Chain A
Amino acid sequence: MTLFPIDYAIVALYFAATIFIGVYLTGKVHNSEDYFLAGRRLPFWMIGMSIVATDIGATSLIGLGGEGYRYGMVVANWDWIGSFMAMILCAFIFIPYYWRAKVYTIPEFLGIRYNQAVRTLYSAIWILILVFDIGITFYATGILMETLLGWDYWVSVLAVALVVGVYVVGAGLSAAIYTDILHSSVMFIGGFALLGIGLWKVGGLTELISQVQAMGPDYSHHFSLYRPPDGSSPYPWTGILFGLGMVMSTSYFAGNQTLVQCALSAKSEWDAKATMIFGAFLKALVPLIVAVPGIIALVLLGQSVPPGKEDQVIPILVKELLPPGMVGLMFAAFLAAMMTTIDSALNALATLWTKDIYQVFLRKNADEKELVFVGRAVTFLVIVISVLSSQMSRQFEGLYQFTQTLLSIVAGPSLAILVLGMFWKRATQWGGFWGLLLGSLLAFCMGLDQIATKFFSIKDPFLYVSFWSFGFASAVVVIVSLFTKPWEEERISSVLWSWDRK
């Protein structure tokens, strides 16, 4: 694919704007709260946009488009039932309690509710997930540019690393959030342009539906959100409702440091709550710019895209439909999707390391200047390591799947200890620890091919695994708690749910 000079100009302008924001905000960082939590002064709408931008990421914009091409509207479940309920529950349950506790990290909150062991284990798990996630995203960036534009892999990776590095190392979370507003705007403008032109090309929505349904019985469910649990689809309604809707999504929005940290930067408790619900409204629009274009690609490209290469449909559609200038905007959107994933993950990782590991085990009396320095140093180091090791992803075909599987392994147990910790005052420190550890081990085992094929009919049963591991982890928390001594209620009353809470 060839970009015209105007496209390059748009991408260059976009990079320049991003760097400018980062450099400008660097001067506003005076302490660790400024660096890690943007000074706790942001309004709900900014954070809501940032959360949505961070969540969309590269996998949604391109990957879900490919899934939409292959499976239809069922993939929209990830943004609909996979967001709305969880974000509402987080707004009224988890976020206010995190915000009131004035914590920097979720492990820190769990340390208050349970003990240091739970805090350290949770932090270590998330540091591991984020390290993999960042490396894979750099790899995905390089491959995407190499495949579509013929750009040298290292040029693409280093360009993105440099831009992200300047603003995240310098200004931390505030830069991540401010640039995410730019990123999300570009993604939505580009996405809606693609949607509008695509729908016009196929003759409108009604024509799109009838053309897809005319493709034969294999496509008769392309506009249904419900697929049967008979192994014919990787997204059966049972997995969507129980696994995604109840467990994975709530765990994701309540237990993901990357997203929760954004909410903690809110200027008030009300803003922190509103962030989640406002973000959910924006999430309602996401399937329109990811899943529907995938279905449009099915009509316009036919079934010409070979199996396993469906990720290419959105870039192909961009090339076929959009004029010069708009192509540049869409490529800026692809790069934005990469950068939103990387910037928030970097900031979250730096915060977890600095507050949960460095300040707890290495330098308890570190002052604000030192904490900011450590945060910046860790961010820089992780960028370097991730860039240098990104090529390793080539050798491990399933590394991306590994990261997603890792996420699904901890989703159920994480939610179990969060929910029981908040709603059941009898849950003890060691109940939480063993619930998290044994629940994660069970989820890991259930996900292994040798075991998964014995119990599940779908190839990647992570939706089911997260649900059942939640149940198992909850049982472990209950059983161990009943045999161990809880904290005194006064000690944990501030982190226990109450209907009378004001």
Chain B
Amino acid sequence: MRAVRYILDFEWALGFSDASVRICFLSVFALVLVFALLQNKDYVYQGAPDRARWRDLRLWAAALLAIQAGIYLYF
């Protein structure tokens, strides 16, 4: 039971330093960014009336994640 609680309650993460925690968060953000950037261009623009650069949703995602990374580095 103690071992189960150790896992379920994330007690194994108690020793993580502040820097390690931030690295965990930023790593997850980076993974999402990579996923977004790997999207096929035709798929991204599907249904758009034109292929103007501002309609590239990968750029929107990148900007959003940059904001998020900045927030989670600052606070």
Interfacial residues, chain A to chain B (CB-CB below 8 A): 73, 76, 80-81, 84-85, 88-89, 91-92, 96, 223-226, 228-230, 236-239, 241-242, 245-246, 268-274, 277-278, 280-281, 284, 454-457, 461, 464, 468, 499-502
Q: Which of B14, B18, B22, B48 contacts A268 (CB 8 A)?
A: B48
Cβ contact within 8 Å between B22 and A502: no
Known pairs A89-B35, A456-B9; A281 contacts B64 (CB<8 A):
yes
Once the chains are docked, how many angstroms separate the CA of A91 from the CA of B61?
A: 9
Which residues of chain A have C-beta atoms less than 8 A from B44's C-beta?
Answer: 273
Once the chains are docked, how many angstroms separate the CA of A461 from the CA of B9?
A: 9
Q: Which of A91, A230, A268 contacts B47 (CB 8 A)?
A: A268
Which are the 5 A-B pairs with shortest beta-carbon distances?
A269-B47, A268-B47, A270-B48, A238-B10, A270-B47
Which residues of chain A have C-beta atoms less than 8 A from B43's C-beta?
Answer: 96, 501-502
Known pairs A88-B32, A274-B57; A238 contacts B64 (CB<8 A):
no
Cβ contact within 8 Å between B42 and A502: yes
Which residues of chain A have C-beta atoms less than 8 A from B48's C-beta?
Answer: 268, 270
Q: A99: nearest residue on chain B (CB-CB)?
A: B47
Once the chains are docked, how many angstroms separate the CA of A284 from the CA of B70?
A: 12
Cβ contact within 8 Å between A92 and B36: yes
Q: Which of B8, B47, B64 contacts A456 (CB 8 A)?
A: B8
Cβ contact within 8 Å between B5 and A455: yes
Which residues of chain A have C-beta atoms less than 8 A from B14's C-beta?
Answer: 228-230
Q: Which of A237, A242, A246 contacts B21 (CB 8 A)?
A: A237
Once the chains are docked, how many angstroms separate the CA of A152 from the CA of B19?
A: 53
Known pairs A241-B28, A270-B55, A464-B9; A225 contacts B75 (CB<8 A):
yes
Cβ contact within 8 Å between A284 and B8: no
What is the interface of chain B mostly: helix, strand, loop, or mixed?
helix
| CB contact list, B2-60 vs A, under 8 A | 4-5, 8-11, 13-14, 18, 21-22, 24-25, 28-29, 32, 35-36, 38-40, 42-49, 55, 57, 60
Cβ contact within 8 Å between A277 and B72: no
Cβ contact within 8 Å between B68 and A229: no
Which residues of chain A have C-beta atoms less than 8 A from B10's C-beta?
Answer: 229, 236, 238-239, 242, 464
User: Shortest Cβ distance from A226 into chain B, in angstroms?
Assistant: 5
Q: Given contact pairs A96-B43, A457-B9, enumerate 8 new A-B contacts (beta carbons under 8 Å).
A: A80-B68, A84-B68, A85-B65, A225-B71, A229-B10, A237-B21, A278-B60, A502-B42
Which residues of chain A have C-beta atoms less than 8 A from B40's C-beta?
Answer: 499-502
Known pairs A80-B71, A277-B64; A270 contacts B4 (CB<8 A):
no
Q: A273: nearest residue on chain B (CB-CB)?
A: B57
Q: Which of B32, B60, B71, B72 contacts A274 (CB 8 A)?
A: B60
Q: B10: nearest residue on chain A (CB-CB)?
A: A238
User: Shortest Cβ distance from B31 into chain A, in angstroms?
Assistant: 9
Which residues of chain A have C-beta atoms less than 8 A from B45's C-beta?
Answer: 270
User: Shortest Cβ distance from B67 into chain A, in angstroms?
Assistant: 6
Q: A245: nearest residue on chain B (CB-CB)?
A: B28
User: Shortest Cβ distance from A149 into chain B, in angstroms?
Assistant: 36
Interface centre among A88, A224, A273, A454 (most CB of B within 10 A): A88
Cβ contact within 8 Å between A277 and B61: yes
Once the chains are docked, how many angstroms separate the CA of A85 from the CA of B28?
A: 9
Which residues of chain A have C-beta atoms less than 8 A from B18's C-beta?
Answer: 226
Once the chains are docked, how many angstroms separate the CA of A277 from the CA of B5?
A: 37
Once the chains are docked, how many angstroms separate the CA of A230 from the CA of B21?
A: 14
Which residues of chain A have C-beta atoms less than 8 A from B21's C-beta?
Answer: 226, 237
User: Shortest Cβ distance from B69 into chain A, in angstroms?
Assistant: 10
Which residues of chain B have C-beta atoms less than 8 A from A246's C-beta?
Answer: 28
Which residues of chain A have C-beta atoms less than 8 A from B55's C-beta?
Answer: 270, 274
Which residues of chain B have C-beta atoms less than 8 A from A242's C-beta?
Answer: 10
Which residues of chain B have C-beta atoms less than 8 A from A278's C-beta?
Answer: 60
Q: List 20 A-B contacts (CB under 8 A).
A: A80-B71, A81-B25, A84-B64, A84-B65, A88-B65, A96-B46, A225-B71, A226-B21, A226-B25, A241-B25, A241-B28, A245-B25, A268-B49, A274-B60, A281-B60, A454-B5, A456-B9, A464-B10, A502-B40, A502-B46
Once the chains are docked, how many angstroms separate the CA of A238 from the CA of B64?
A: 22
Which residues of chain B have C-beta atoms less than 8 A from A223's C-beta?
Answer: 75
Q: B41: nearest residue on chain A (CB-CB)?
A: A502
Which residues of chain A have C-beta atoms less than 8 A from B46's C-beta?
Answer: 96, 269-270, 502
